[in-house]
Structure 1
Amino acid sequence: MPSSISESLNGRLAALHTERVATWAPEDLAVNVNQRQLLTETIDRASIVKPGDVVETFSLLDVEGGTLSLEELVASGPVVLVFFRFAGCPACNIALPYYEQHLARPLSELGVRLVAVSPQIPERLVDIKRVRGLSFDVASDQDANLARRFNILYTFDEASQTAALAKGKPIGDITGTGTWELPMPAVVVIDEDRIVRFADVSPDWLERTEAEAIVDVVARLVADRKLAAQG
């Protein structure tokens, strides 16, 4: 586990922001900062996915082929879903490799599946798994159905849309979805009874759930299940 702030996930994301402050044009930086601030100020935490929610069945498209159903994912224990924006997202390219380093192995040792989820179409989403050498599942949430159900989608604000169009890069073209929607980064842990046991949603995509917090939650779930099984 990380032993200092500089080694933490959020430390690395903070360094990304510091680099942008030093290198980006002020107007470009303002668009990015203002969008993240707006999401932070307007998120309705009462309406988003939360512990205790019962999750109806769903199916995700594995980027390497086939589908991943909820029933399959929780067949032998909890599943950890990590929602991220898209394969080319710089912050996601920090977060997912970090989870590979600090989260994938502890969860595997607990017998728990880890799945990274984005609405980006599979043929474009597969790049982040292959380029970053991710050992865990990466899956496409077709039409953002699950993210929409969890109420963690956001739409680019007007300034962000204008900036993207000026660069000729509408996000819908990049993701292949044709929309201005992306999920807010989130970690959702669902147990064998299809109940959400942990949910952490980050409207500011430069703030994300640390691996240690996820491992702690899952380890307690697994331990409680073992005690219950022993009677």
Structure 2
Amino acid sequence: MSLQDRLDAFKADFQAGKPPYNVPPSVIHTMHRATAELIASGAAQNALKAGNPAPTFTLDDPDGHPVSSAELLREGPLVVTFYRGVWCPYCNLELQALQAALPDIRAAGARVLAISPQVAANSRKSVRQNALEFPILSDPHNDVAAAFGLRFELQDYLVELYQSLKNDLPAFNGDPSWTLPMPARYVIAPDDTIVYAEVNPDYTRRPDPAEMLPAIRKAAL
């Protein structure tokens, strides 16, 4: 089953209010409104694309060790996925798909990391729950996400919805701002050029990891 098939199956159960979700239609309506508004804003058009130079960054892994993109790129191509947080089931399904594809990604010559605004404790939880063999780096205030053109601020009505669902982003992220990265996945070549970019303001849509493999193999030559 492809990643999108898994996402669609989860979405169908969630929107149907099947246990254990039991989500009222008003919540679904608000989520659809927020996604439609983000798409209409054109924010995704401002994100970095294939052919652009990738920003360099150094962020801490869940154990507090700094990880430098420049150092990793000296060893080969780098796959970077932007992860909203441990609270997002769609993001967790994507991480699981990347983990399942990790042998193929490594065989193609690349390393994988995820970037999230959440604090280290939540990243450690994500790594455990999704059985990951790659790190989730902490991006305070979504600053690296902003450098890639991905950061956006939640509208007040969406903040209220998140609060009602106990998704307290300031607590998850250790940051008072209500910002998130648009889901995105990049392949960066050793010369810092982005050779694959997938950005979607609809967080329920994610490409299958296999789609990156040709770009990784070409970048690794």
TM-score in terms of structure 1 length: 0.87
Partners in 2 of 1:91 and 1:167 — Cα distance?
16
Matches within 5 A, 1:74-85: 74-85=73-84
Matches within 5 A, 1:77-116: 77-101=76-100, 103-116=101-114
* Partner residue, 1:59: 58
2:49 aligned residue:
50
Secondary structure class of the residue paired with 2:149: coil
More moved, 42-51 vs 70-79: 42-51
1:213 alignment partner in structure 2 = 211
Aligned equivalent of 2:128, options 122, 127, 130 = 130
Which residue pairs with 2:34 in the alignment? 35
CA distance in 2, matches of 1:9, 1:196: 23
Whether the 8 Å contact between 1:61 and 1:142 is mirrored in structure 2 is: no
- The answer (yes or no) to whether the contact 1:54–1:195 under 8 Å persists in 2 is yes
Q: Is this contact kept in 1: 2:140–2:173, CA < 8 A?
A: no
TM-score, normalised with respect to structure 2: 0.91
Stretch of structure 1 that moved more, 194-203 or 172-181: 172-181
The whole-number CA distance in structure 2 between the counterparts of 1:13 and 1:215 is 21
Q: CA deviation at 1:167?
A: 4.2
**Equivalent residues of 1:186, 1:200 under 8 A apart:** yes
From the CA coordinates, give the structure whose radius of gyration is larger. 1
| Partner SS state of residue 16, structure 2 | helix
Q: How far, CA to CA, are the matches of 2:97 and 2:56 in structure 1?
A: 29
Aligned residue among 2, 15, 19 for 1:8: 2
Please say which of residues 36-45 and 82-91 is displaced more in the overlay: 36-45
Quote the Cα distance in structure 2 between the aligned partners of 1:209 and 1:38.
22
For structure 1, the residue ranges without an aligned partner over 5 or more in a row are: 1-6, 226-231
Offset of residue 168 of structure 1: 4.8
Code of the aligned partner of 1:117: I
* Cα distance in structure 2, aligned partners of 1:219 and 1:159: 44
Distance 1:111 1:67 in 2: 22
Structure 2 Cα separation of the partners of residues 58 and 21 of structure 1: 37
Q: CA RMSD in A?
A: 1.6
The correspondence for 2:161, drawn from 146, 160, 163, is 163
Count, aligned residues: 216
Query: Residue 76 of structure 1: SS of its match in structure 2?
Result: coil
2:166 and 2:67 map into 1 onto residues whose CA distance is 34
For residues 2-53 of structure 1, what are the alpha-carbon distances to aligned partners after superposition, in whole Å with 9 as ceiling and x for unaligned?
A: xxxxx11111111121112210201011111111122122233442111222
2:103, 2:69 → 1: CA distance? 21
* Equivalent residues of 1:86, 1:120 under 8 A apart: yes
Residues 39 and 202 of structure 2 are in contact (CA less than 8 Å); yes or no, is this contact kept in structure 1?
yes
- 1:175-223 per-residue CA deviation (whole Å, 9 max, x = no partner) reads 222211011110111111111111110111100121111112212222x
The answer for the alignment partner of 2:16 in structure 1 is 22
Separation in 2, partners of 1:170, 1:142: 15
- Rounded Cα–Cα distance in structure 2 between residues aligned with 1:156 and 1:45: 15
> Which amino acid in 1 is paired with 2:76?
G
Q: Secondary structure of 2:43's match?
A: coil
1:46 & 1:184 partners in 2: Cα distance? 11
| Secondary structure at 1:14 match in 2 | helix
Deviates further, 155-164 or 17-26: 155-164
Deviates more, 1:136-145 or 1:111-120: 136-145
Distance 1:39 1:56 in 2: 24
